[in-house]
Structure 1
Amino acid sequence: MTLHANFSASSNTTPEMFFLTGIPGLEGMHRWISIPFSTAFAIALVGNSTLLYVIKTEPSLHKPMFYFLSMLAVTDLVLSLTTLPKMLSIFWFNAQAIPFKACLVQMFFLHSFSIIESAVLLAMAFDRYVAVCNPLRYSSILTSSLIVKIGLLAVLRASGLMLPLPFLLRRLPYCRSHVISHCYCEHMAVVKLACADTRVNNIYGIFVTFFIVGLDLLSIGHSYLRILRTVFSLATKEEKLKAFGTCLAHICAILVFYIPVLLSSVIHRFGHHIAPHVHILMANLYLLLPPVMNPIVYGMKTKEIRERVRIAFSRKRL
């Protein structure tokens, strides 16, 4: 690693390679750390692929709620495939080198699909709002064309916000170490290596974070306030429980996605006395948890999916 650092420090142009350290301070435990990471990767791949297969092959699941769930599963798969293979290659084979252009591509997909996931969770909140507050108009409001437009808008928003990042990073000189103290190419981790004024990158990163998390969380919160008002106006306890039940899986998905993001952001900006490996582990948590937990939560809480998975496994045994 010293050779990489010395070589990197000798150049002030755009580097050909960066070097990912994995989890700094825990390099000696990478093989052990790889066990939960590889397990999580396998669960994410199998779980989300199963969700997509079940929704595609079962006509009764061709409904707006499950279309949004399919978008969530695709997003989680892309996030897993963008980061986990390289991460595991570092843990298993110490394959730390990553080409500069590949680093930018990984960063673009990582941040773009994180933004898309936030947008899909917002769309699912709107879906639950219509299902609870306007059930008679559900099919007329959430038409197939509207769902396609929502999906395209989510992709366009994420791509538009993230497209400037590679260009903002390419303009910077990297005359310091080219060693990234992280498991993957994260925007601020790369910015720290630049030996120039990075205020534009810092301001843009903060703007995107607060714009996405703030706007989407406020909109989701507004939807659930209206849902709660409708639920509490229902006559019977059974009706209230049924309405809450339709939202439970989505609430779990929101918590699994946003809590690690917010905790990681707070630790990154204010936890200056916290060990570096804690920062990195928290950053990994918000990438690992949603792809692993979403198919499990929806599989357990959604009767239609649970039944289809049970039938599929029963046929294989026969």
Structure 2
Amino acid sequence: MITNFTKMRGFFILGFPGLSPQYYGPVSALLFFIYQAIAIGNIFILAFVVYEKSLQKPTYLVFCHLALNDLTFGTVTLPKIIAKYWFGDGIITFYGCFVQMFFVHYLGSVTSFMLLVMALDRFVAVCIPLRYPVLITNNIISVLCGFAWFIPLPLMVAIVLHALTLPYCKSNVIAQCYCDHISITSQACGEDVTIVAVTALCVAMLCLLLPLAFIVFSYISIFVAIVRISNAAGRRRTLSTCTPQILITCLFYLPRCFVYVANTVGFSFSLDVRIMLILLYSLFPAAVNPIIYCFKTQDIKQMLMKRLRKSQIGIEIKFSS
């Protein structure tokens, strides 16, 4: 018998099913540390670029949008799973789970479109550098980033509302560290479950693969342009300007492609490993991206070193006086 979905009051976040209770404390501490790294790193990038007027250029504006996205994603997903292992609070309300699902998929889609904007910025800078000051300005980048935030919005709202039409009559256990579309709809009943799942998959492929196609085209064009540079120092300098963007893009797409290909060829993961992989490729880039911004971007690194030297000189003067 299929009961009305509104009778299910909430869901239980399972987390890692094979984890022994004696490790709940260390795992919650590790997740809390990851959240702190995400929060401190991305807030620092936002504040630093806002404070340093010289860094308010198109490339670094995209970094700021990505930092805001990563900060929001960590804030939406981590507190509940930390509360589960720290305080034993694994219950999330029915509609709260759907809200979390919306943000998980929406922010992931926004990241994909932001990486497209980032690739466009580098494509113009390397392949048509003389047109860069005209084609890529702060205002144009702001508009493009605005589109990156807006385009997935109606799509993800439609996906959530579509999932809400299903009757939920199975277990209320979410076999994941946060609510996502697959884990929620796997608890649904009825003939429409397949339609909802296929629709969500098509939207996900649109939001991930469409930007990826342009990103791959852009970086192939960039590599071709770099190879054609006769000066070896010029090649290295041009490549170094693209290194942060390439690393950030690889961190986002490669683990997802690996999981997808592994599932396609029939390589199955245990539930714990699958959850670990999803958590890794969801949260690891958010924690690592600020480090890439700081140490792989010349302007930010030089500005940081300049500020550190000024602080050191100020401290020495203070102590000497």
Q: Tell me if both proteins adopt one fold, taking TM over 0.5 as the criterion.
A: yes
Q: Structure 1 43/310 Cα, relative in aligned 2: closer, same or farther at 3 Å?
A: farther
Residue of structure 1 equivalent to 2:238: 243
**How far is 1:155 from its partner?**
1.5
Please state how far the C-alpha of 1:273 moved relative to its aligned partner: 4.2
Work out the CA distance in 2 between the residues paired with 1:190 and 1:95: 19
Which region of structure 1 is more displaced relative to structure 2, 172-181 or 209-218? Answer: 209-218
Pick from 160, 165, 176: which aligns with 1:166? 160
Q: Which residue of the partner structure matches residue 124 of structure 2?
A: 130
Q: Which residue of 1 aligns with 2:26?
A: 32
Residues 1:269 and 1:32: Cα distance change in structure 2 (over 3 Å): farther
3-state SS, counterpart of residue 168 of structure 1:
helix
Aligned partner of 2:275 among 270, 277, 280 = 280
Shift of the 97–88 alpha-carbon distance from structure 1 to 2, 3 Å rule, reads: same
| CA deviations over 1:5-58 (Å, ceiling 9, x no partner) | xxxx99543222111111122152332222332222111111111111111111
- Alpha-carbon distance, 1:187 to partner: 0.5
Say how many residue pairs are matched.
310
Shift of 1:270: 6.0
Q: Work out which of the residue numbers 122, 135, 156 in structure 2 matches 1:141.
A: 135
Q: Which residue of 1 aligns with 2:318?
A: none
Q: Which among 9, 16, 20 is matched to residue 9 of structure 2? A: 16
Cα root mean square deviation, aligned: 2.0
CA shift, 1:207, in A, is: 0.6
* Structure 2: stretches of 5+ with no match in the other structure: 316-321
Distance 1:86 1:120 in 2: 27
After TM superposition, the structure 1 = structure 2 runs for residues 65-214 of structure 1, keeping only pairs within 5 Å, are 65-197=59-191, 198-214=193-209
Larger displacement relative to structure 2 (89-98 or 143-152): 143-152
Deviation digits for residues 65-94 of structure 1, max 9, x if unmatched? Answer: 001111110111011111011111112112
What is the Cα deviation at residue 315 of structure 1?
A: 5.8
TM-score, normalising length: structure 1: 0.91
Q: Distance in 1 between matches of 2:48 and 2:12?
A: 40
* 1:164-223 CA distance string (max 9 Å, x none): 122112111111111111111010000100111211221112212221222111100111
Contact kept in structure 2, 1:173 and 1:194, CA below 8 Å: yes
Please say if residues 267 and 279 of structure 1, whose CA atoms lie closer than 8 Å, have aligned partners that are also in contact: no
- In structure 1, give the amino acid aligned to 2:90: Q
Return the offset for 1:268.
5.6
**Is 1:253–1:290's contact at 8 Å kept on the other side of the alignment?**
yes
> Following the alignment from structure 2 to structure 1, what is the Cα–Cα distance between the partners of residues 259 and 268?
14
CA change 1:268–1:229 in 2 (3 A) is closer
Q: Which runs of 5+ in 1 are unaligned?
A: 1-8
The answer to whether the 8 A contact 1:257-1:289 is kept is: no
CA separation of 1:271/1:33 partners in 2, compared to 1, >3 Å: closer, same or farther?
farther
Task: State the alpha-carbon separation in 2 of the partners of residues 272 and 108 from structure 1.
Answer: 29
Q: Name the SS for the 2:240 alignment partner.
A: helix
- Partners of 1:288 and 1:27 lie apart in 2 by 23
Deviation, structure 1 residue 230: 1.2
Q: Quote the offset at 1:303 in angstroms.
A: 2.1
Matched, 1:307 2:302: yes
User: Is 1:34–1:92's contact at 8 Å kept on the other side of the alignment?
Assistant: yes
Deviations 1:252-274 (A, max 9, x none): 10111112222333456666742
Deviates more, 1:152-161 or 1:260-269: 260-269
**118-127 vs 301-310, which deviates more?**
301-310
Q: Distance in 2 between matches of 1:174 and 1:36?
A: 33
What are the Cα deviations for residues 104-139 of structure 1, in whole angstroms up to 9, with x where unaligned?
111111111111111111111110111111222212
Flag the 1:266–1:82 CA change in 2: closer, same or farther, 3 A: farther
Q: 1:217 aligns with which of 212, 220, 233?
A: 212
CA distance in 1, matches of 2:29, 2:74: 16
Q: Residues 30 and 143 from structure 1, CA distance in 2 versus in 1: closer, same or farther, beyond 3 angstroms?
A: same
1:132 maps to a residue whose letter is V
Question: AA paired with 1:302?
Answer: T
Structure 2 residue identity aligned to 1:214: L
Cα pair 2:2 2:189 within 8 Å, conserved:
no
